[in-house]
Structure 1
Amino acid sequence: MTIPMKNRLLMAALVAATALPAGAALADSYTVDPSHSFIQFKTQHLGYSWLPGQFNKFDGKLNYSADKSAADQKIVINIDTASIDTNWADRDKHLRSADFLDVEKFPTATFESTSFDGDANGGTITGDLTLHGVTKEISFPIKLIGEGKDPWGGYRVGFEGSYTLARKDFNLDQTNLGPAAENIELTLLIEAIKDQ
């Protein structure tokens, strides 16, 4: 079956598959730029307000070329869970403890894409999220922001996505924070630089 060009372009841009068929030409390799990328989250505090935060340390690689098929694309993101930052040291220490992320036992969270379903206006990306020792297939909407040359002679691509995480799905509900805090809203703002 022939994939329409606009579908191939977005599937490539959103980095869909995890394995390349034998003999396939590799898509271009990119490295996530942590200085222009953000992994943010927010949850409700007692149902009265929002409690936002982010992870300050993460890295990632993607294989991406606009003219390659979905089977040539891949993205992997690795998050240092100890880098959680909610702008309050005592709370961050508690979030790193066994009551929540248990960062000594589970120092890294990862996401690896497996497929994309959509068109040139956006779509849904699917992959495996490993967090707190649990691996679960998740799907969430994602949008290509843009791509092109930067002022320093490089080439960049950027996209954004969001996912609502249920704490119970990753055994993060051991501490009762009330019904308003059962879910965590994640936002990924990823910019990557083409490897030379």
Structure 2
Amino acid sequence: MTTAALSLPGLSVGTWTIDPTHSTVGFVVRHLVVSKVRGTFNDFTGAITVAEDGTLSVQAQIQVASIGTNNEQRDGHIKSADFFDVEHFPVATFVSTGVRAEGSNHVVEGEFTLHGITKPVELALDFAGVNPGMGNGPVAGFEATTTINRKDFGINIEMPLEGGGVVVGEKITINLEIEAGLTD
């Protein structure tokens, strides 16, 4: 574990709960080799906990069936056993194992579980700061990104193209834009 006390100005001790109304869990994947499909997961929860010694821990859950790509047919296929198999694997989770400074930014190390398989991932984290909020207490902003390979998580569908390549790329970029409020 590489967790160390971090200097994140204004981020006080306590639990910062993710506000799903003001946050986004998004992804980008190659389609037909030449373009990209973007989507979001619309049902998620999580928290960032700041301990007395300044160390951070993060945990989050995503309801995989909440996927949206602006195409109902595609969303239905992605929910099927060909991809996420939401009937058997309805939740994806992230639990941090450490946080380290990297230049002026940070890296959150953790265990990501998707499709019943858990793998280590690293999220490049940009801390946007803390704002007093609008009468309900302070809010903090974070942006994070990571790239995973869907095959590492047992999503092995190929769908090869006649001219080479596959319909859906293997690399998935996950983008998080998080607003969290101090709840205790």
TM-score range, shorter chain: 0.7 to 0.9
TM (norm. structure 2) is 0.87
User: By how many angstroms is 1:10 displaced?
Assistant: 3.8
Deviation per residue, 1:43-97 (Å, 9 max, x gap): 11112211100001001122126x7322xx2211100000000000011000000
1:184 correspondence with 2:172: yes
TM (norm. structure 1) is 0.82
Alignment partner, residue 95 of structure 1: 78
Alignment partner, residue 31 of structure 2: 45
Q: Which runs of 5+ in 1 are unaligned?
A: 14-25
- Residue correspondence of structure 1 range 20-99 to structure 2 within 5 A: 27-64=13-50, 68-70=53-55, 73-99=56-82
Structure-2 change in CA distance of 1:159 and 1:120 (3 Å): farther
Residue-pair matches, total: 176
Alignment partner, residue 126 of structure 1: 109
AA partner of residue 89 (structure 1): E
How far apart are the structure 2 equivalents of 1:188 and 1:172?
21
Structure-2 change in CA distance of 1:35 and 1:120 (3 Å): farther
User: By how many angstroms is 1:179 displaced?
Assistant: 7.7
How far apart are the structure 2 equivalents of 1:12 and 1:117?
18
Q: Do the aligned partners of 1:62 and 1:75 also contact (CA within 8 Å) in 2?
A: yes
User: By how many angstroms is 1:130 displaced?
Assistant: 0.4
AA partner of residue 143 (structure 1): D
Alignment partner, residue 136 of structure 2: 153
How far apart are the structure 2 equivalents of 1:78 and 1:154?
24
Alignment partner, residue 7 of structure 2: 9
**RMSD across aligned positions (CA):** 2.4
Aligned-pair identity (%): 35
User: By how many angstroms is 1:12 displaced?
Assistant: 10
Q: Do the aligned partners of 1:11 and 1:116 also contact (CA within 8 Å) in 2?
A: no
